[in-house]
Structure 1
């Protein structure tokens, strides 16, 4: 059995902060640099200043990560002194950052940083952290994230609304409600981009949704941005991504295949895959984000005590060996209670892929509406759910189709 990856990844929480009043920009577009009436030297020099506070002990390390391409990179660190910490840097254009007490680029309090002074209170509970700034960009980002938080709350209320009644009827209704909420959220994002065409936040949202929308929608959204925004270097890089997507043969609307039988599928819109995060055999946190982007992922819900699950494992081993080099990966989610039995089954069945998590309280299974195991679903290269409850010959056929997309 190969070594498992040693990751410690936790999904970052939504950004919740307050913004104060702001003044006019000295340029037609406010996204590159803002000034204030007293000619703040920080803004005039395209600098940012993060003034932080925390109740953590003195000499606690604080790390600053900056978004670069599809990941975050460590750019600075400091320590807490008398409950305070500080970061300085250049910000010719707004950029996404994360601040954390843990040296982990995937965990931290997110900020959209531009040339301004930003005040941050960093809490060990990331969702309790706050920030404020006089920046227009910060205010726009606050407006967007607060509304996205509403969608998150609606999603949670769907789960709580079941009140422990996990009947087939309720689970099916939950799936329909989640899909409707997903569609509503996507419509909100599109509308927000169109209404804020002269905002850096709008182009940032286009980039974040390159994998979600089809090429036609992306082109419409991008072309609707103001010329000031399109002229930014950051925007031009996004235009290149859209051009690349437009050039792909057979590029089409995202769909999901819901199984009616082993050989017959019905096309529907593909929803984004829901969060999967759990503990691997090393005791470390592993999530979907642990798997490199652009992979076709089979999520297999199983357990060591499940006879039908164990019976399908040889087929999974063969599929992984056959298609791994083409971009296929497996994430196994075990419903075992006893870790020893889980680990023994992995070794005995030769499940040599690197991504295994244990779901003792079935929180992941609940999120995906899993009523019984084995349960398999496929996630496409864009992170969308492409097929559910699929097995046998249909599974391999679908893997081949998704790898060709």
Structure 2
């Protein structure tokens, strides 16, 4: 009797599960006979496996899952190739793709947000390709560091301006707008919610809209917390006049910097007298950080033995992120906890990040980065 009761209970539970409203994703993956296709949820805590199927000759597939309480993100994966899509409720999303170009040549129907996400994905791939090409050019010494940095900055600005207008502010209450906020370049967020006041506004627009429609959703709460932290980090301080203490100015007139490195040791710029120094103000949690640091490492590897040193000042809001990222860098890495409102950066009149300055062996400020046409040539001249 007890066995019959448990079987009946299991049947009731299964029936209740089957009766819940579901969404459906179906379609075809051509030329993928024998390949495994996975349906995964792109949750806040990471990728969560949901279902899978071994594709047969015609490549057809069909998945059903319980509808989300608020718009959520999912992905189809074959090997390491991924198609991202979103689901609002109980819609049927139809996806067709060739195996060879699974992540880029697919078509999607039944989900306008997923179409926008595809557009954003292709735009991000194009941006990354252009950045990679510039990196190859600077590695081959076909372009100078100044051209490289200016080109990267221009590409990123144009991309962000376009995405802001067409995808974020145009419809901030959509999954596509949310998806746009978290796109990456070189594995860094393109829109920086912790260090850029303009980017915080983008996050705030989407957070406000999501909170209006889905106030109890985890994504709404998470986005709201990001915005609050970003607003705090980028809040303009009341004191706007920068006073430079006399002890910060060395006998030669260079503004000294005295900050702690990752081990807590105080590192002074003036202690590097006798070396040619690149003073670099940067944010590690930035889309251009990786390419910028690659350029610096190339110079460091070439000229450190001849007397070059790099004194890199992080203005990152996230101290742990700075320590993790800077841990393997061979030069002096310090951080100003005041972030983008650093009085030291202001005293150097830093207008954009990253920003470099050259200090000669006598501890004299030699040049600002924007006035240097060939950074390597300028460094060699100081050595």
Normalised to the residue count of structure 1, the TM-score between the two structures is: 0.49
Q: Is it true that 1:98 corresponds to 2:75 in the alignment?
A: yes
d(CA) in 2 for partners of 1:154, 1:270: 20
Question: Which of 250, 254, 262 in structure 1 is aligned with 2:277?
Answer: 262
2:120, 2:180 within 8 Å by CA — same for their partners in 1? Answer: no
d(CA) in 1 for partners of 2:331, 2:53: 46
**Pair 1:81–1:180, CA change in 2 (3 A):** same
Question: Which of 50, 68, 72 in structure 2 is aligned with 1:75?
Answer: 50
**Pair 1:136–1:72, CA change in 2 (3 A):** same
**Pair 1:331–1:88, CA change in 2 (3 A):** farther
Q: Is it true that 1:113 corresponds to 2:89 in the alignment?
A: no
**Structure 2 SS opposite 1:145:** helix
d(CA) in 2 for partners of 1:172, 1:261: 19
**Pair 1:325–1:265, CA change in 2 (3 A):** closer
d(CA) in 2 for partners of 1:388, 1:185: 24
**Pair 1:50–1:301, CA change in 2 (3 A):** farther
d(CA) in 2 for partners of 1:249, 1:53: 46
* C-alpha deviation, 1:109, in angstroms: 1.4
**Structure 2 SS opposite 1:166:** coil
**Structure 2 SS opposite 1:137:** helix
Question: Which of 187, 196, 202 in structure 2 is aligned with 1:221?
Answer: 202
Q: Is it true that 1:235 corresponds to 2:220 in the alignment?
A: yes
d(CA) in 1 for partners of 2:75, 2:336: 28
Q: Is it true that 1:328 corresponds to 2:324 in the alignment?
A: yes
d(CA) in 2 for partners of 1:238, 1:185: 22
Q: Is it true that 1:47 corresponds to 2:23 in the alignment?
A: yes
d(CA) in 1 for partners of 2:30, 2:335: 39
The count of aligned residue pairs is 267
Match of 2:176 in 1: 201
2:113, 2:175 within 8 Å by CA — same for their partners in 1? Answer: yes
Alignment of 1:304-323 (within 5 A): none
**Structure 2: which 5+ residue stretches go unaligned?**
1-19, 184-188, 238-268, 270-274, 309-318, 340-352, 359-383
Higher helix share: 2
d(CA) in 2 for partners of 1:324, 1:49: 40
Match of 2:113 in 1: 137
**Structure 1: which 5+ residue stretches go unaligned?**
1-43, 253-258, 277-296, 313-322, 334-373, 391-405
Match of 1:65 in 2: 40
d(CA) in 2 for partners of 1:226, 1:301: 38
* C-alpha deviation, 1:212, in angstroms: 1.1
Q: Is it true that 1:178 corresponds to 2:159 in the alignment?
A: no
d(CA) in 2 for partners of 1:221, 1:86: 36
d(CA) in 2 for partners of 1:326, 1:154: 26
d(CA) in 1 for partners of 2:174, 2:283: 33
d(CA) in 1 for partners of 2:284, 2:326: 23
* C-alpha deviation, 1:181, in angstroms: 0.9
d(CA) in 2 for partners of 1:380, 1:133: 49
Match of 1:293 in 2: none
1:103-137 deviation per Cα after TM superposition (whole angstroms, max 9, x unaligned): xxxx4312213132222325144445413112221
1:96, 1:111 within 8 Å by CA — same for their partners in 2? Answer: yes
d(CA) in 1 for partners of 2:320, 2:202: 35
Alignment of 1:158-169 (within 5 A): 158=134, 166-167=141-142, 169=144
1:298, 1:377 within 8 Å by CA — same for their partners in 2? Answer: no
Question: Which of 279, 287, 290 in structure 2 is aligned with 1:272?
Answer: 287
d(CA) in 2 for partners of 1:87, 1:226: 30
RMSD (Å), alpha carbons: 5.4
d(CA) in 2 for partners of 1:300, 1:376: 12
2:74, 2:84 within 8 Å by CA — same for their partners in 1? Answer: yes
d(CA) in 2 for partners of 1:250, 1:300: 30
Match of 2:161 in 1: 187
